C-alpha cells in the first residue's frame, strides 16, 4: 500500500511532491533583517531531505515588525537578494517548494533573543523601539505599552505587507504564508483580549476580522495569481472570553471567500494566562473542525513527531498536510526516515544516495 504522506498535494495552483512541511522556525540569526549563511545551511539541509514544502521563519514586513533585532525581515533590497540566493541553492539540491511566513510582531516586538532572556527591549535602548498594536495594552505586566495604531499606521502596515509580498515574488518564493497566530499583530486584532478598539476595527467579530482580512486581500492581490497565499491561525487563545474555534471557523469562511488556499492551524500565544492542554497532536481537533466546517484545506502542526502518526492524521481526514518544527530541528532527515518506515520510495541527492538503507542491493535512485 502506498503512503498518503508521500503523495502529491496541490495547494491552489502549486503542487507539492509530498505532504510533509517544514514549519517556520525563528532562528534569531539575521543581521538588520538580512538572512545569512546560517539560514542558507538551516534551510538548505531541509531542501536536501525532500519535504514537499519548506516555510521560512516569521519574517518582519517592516523593521519595527520583527520580534527581535535578530529576526529576518523582507523590507530591503539586501534581504530580498539574500533570500533569492537561499532559494536558488535549495532548488539546486531538491524538489521542495519554498514559502515564507510574512509577519508583524505587534506588541510582542522589540524583545531579546530567547537565550538572552527574551524580555522586552526598551525603546530607549539603542536596539529597541516602540511596538505597535491594535490597542495600547502591553503583552506582559511591566512592559512598555505599545502605541495604538491610527489610520495612518494601519495603512503603513498594509502597505508593508504588500511590499514584502512583491519582494517575496521577485526573490522566487513559491508561496506566502501570512502570520495571524501566536499573539502577533494580526492575531492581536482578532482577539478581544488584545483588541479594545471602539472603531471599525474593534468590538464585533466582523470588526476584529476586518484588518487581518484587509491585509490578506492586499497580499493576495500583490502576489502572483499562480502562487498560493495561505494563512497561519491560532484556532483558540485557550482563555475563556478570548478568540476561539467558533470564531476561527467564521474567519476561515471569510478567508476562503477572499482566495485563501490553505489554513495552517496552530493555537495560543496571545496571553500567558492561557491554559493549554498539551499532548501529541493536541491541535488536530481544531484542524479537523476548520477543514470540515469551512471546507478549506488545512495543515496540521503541534507535537507531530512519528511517521505513522503523520500518516494517520492524513488517512483519518484531520488534515491535508502535516508540519513539523522541533521534530525537524532534532532530525533534519525526518523525511528520509519516514519514507523508510512507511515503505515509500524517495530520491536522494546523488552524493547521499548510497546511505539509503532501502536501496541496499538495488540500483540507486538519485537526483542530480
Looking at residue 365, what is its pLDDT? 52
Interval 327-356 mean pLDDT: 92
Percent of the chain surpassing pLDDT 70: 97
Give the active site residue among 184, 201, 282, 352.
Answer: 184
Q: What is the pLDDT of residue 368?
A: 46
- 184 carries an active-site annotation: yes
Q: Reply yes or no on whether the pLDDT at 348 is more than 80.
A: yes
What's the average model confidence in pLDDT over 62-83?
98
pLDDT of residue 217 exceeding 90, the answer is: yes
Per-residue pLDDT tens over the stretch 104-161: 999 999 999 999 998 999 999 989 999 999 999 999 999 999 999 999 999 999 999 9
Q: Across all residues in the chain, what is the average pLDDT?
A: 95
Residue pLDDT, tens place only, 168-215? 999 999 999 999 999 999 999 999 999 999 999 999 999 999 999 999
Q: What is the pLDDT of residue 357?
A: 80
pLDDT value of position 364: 46
- Residue 363's pLDDT band, with cuts at 50, 70 and 90, is low
- Beta-carbon contacts of residue 207 (< 8 Å; ≥ 6 apart): 197, 199, 200, 201
What is the model's pLDDT at position 84? 98
Residues of the chain above pLDDT 90, percent: 89
Between residues 271 and 368, which one has the greater pLDDT?
271
Query: pLDDT for 236-281, tens place per residue?
Result: 999 999 999 999 999 999 999 999 999 999 999 999 899 888 888 8
What number does CATH give the domain 4-367?
3.20.20.70
Amino acid at each position: 500500500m502506498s503512503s498518503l504522506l508521500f503523495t502529491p498535494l496541490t495547494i491552489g495552483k502549486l503542487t507539492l511532491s509530498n505532504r510533509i512541511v517544514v514549519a517556520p522556525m525563528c532562528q534569531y540569526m539575521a543581521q538588520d533583517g538580512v538572512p545569512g549563511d546560517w539560514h542558507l545551511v538551516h534551510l538548505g539541509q531541509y531542501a536536501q531531505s525532500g519535504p514537499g514544502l519548506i516555510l521560512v521563519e516569521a519574517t518582519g514586513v517592516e523593521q519595527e515588525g520583527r520580534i527581535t533585532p535578530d529576526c529576518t525581515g523582507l523590507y530591503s533590497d539586501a534581504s530580498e537578494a539574500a533570500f533569492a540566493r537561499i532559494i536558488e541553492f535549495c532548488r539546486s539540491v531538491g524538489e521542495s517548494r519554498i514559502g515564507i511566513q510574512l509577519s508583524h510582531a505587534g506588541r510582542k516586538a522589540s524583545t531579546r533573543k530567547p537565550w538572552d532572556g527574551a524580555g522586552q527591549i526598551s525603546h530607549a535602548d539603542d536596539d529597541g523601539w516602540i511596538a505597535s498594536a491594535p490597542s495600547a495594552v502591553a503583552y506582559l505586566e511591566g512592559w512598555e505599552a505599545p502605541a495604538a495604531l491610527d489610520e495612518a499606521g494601519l495603512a503603513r502596515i498594509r502597505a508593508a505587507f504588500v511590499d514584502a509580498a512583491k519582494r517575496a515574488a521577485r526573490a522566487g518564493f513559491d508561496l506566502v504564508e501570512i502570520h495571524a497566530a501566536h499573539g502577533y499583530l494580526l492575531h492581536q486584532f482578532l482577539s478581544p483580549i488584545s483588541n479594545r478598539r471602539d472603531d471599525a476595527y474593534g468590538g464585533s467579530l466582523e470588526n476584529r476580522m476586518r484588518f487581518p482580512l484587509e491585509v490578506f486581500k492586499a497580499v493576495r492581490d500583490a502576489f502572483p495569481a499562480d502562487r498560493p497565499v495561505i494563512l497561519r491561525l491560532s484556532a483558540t487563545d485557550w482563555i475563556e472570553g478570548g478568540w476561539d474555534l467558533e470564531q476561527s471557523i467564521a474567519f476561515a469562511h471569510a478567508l476562503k471567500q477572499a482566495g485563501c488556499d490553505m489554513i495552517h492551524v496552530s493555537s495560543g500565544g496571545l496571553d500567558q494566562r492561557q491554559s493549554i492542554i498539551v499532548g501529541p497532536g493536541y491541535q488536530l481537533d481544531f484542524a479537523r473542525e476548520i477543514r470540515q466546517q469551512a471546507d478549506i484545506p488545512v495543515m496540521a502542526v503541534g507535537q507531530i513527531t512519528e511517521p505513522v502518526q503523520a500518516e494517520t492524521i492524513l488517512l483519518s481526514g484531520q488534515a491535508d498536510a502535516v508540519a513539523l518544527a522541533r521534530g525537524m530541528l532534532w532530525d533534519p532527515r525526518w523525511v528520509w526516515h519516514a519514507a523508510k518506515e512507511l515503505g515509500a520510495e524517495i530520491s536522494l541527492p546523488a552524493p547521499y544516495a548510497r546511505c539509503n538503507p532501502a536501496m541496499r542491493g538495488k540500483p540507486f535512485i538519485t537526483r542530480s
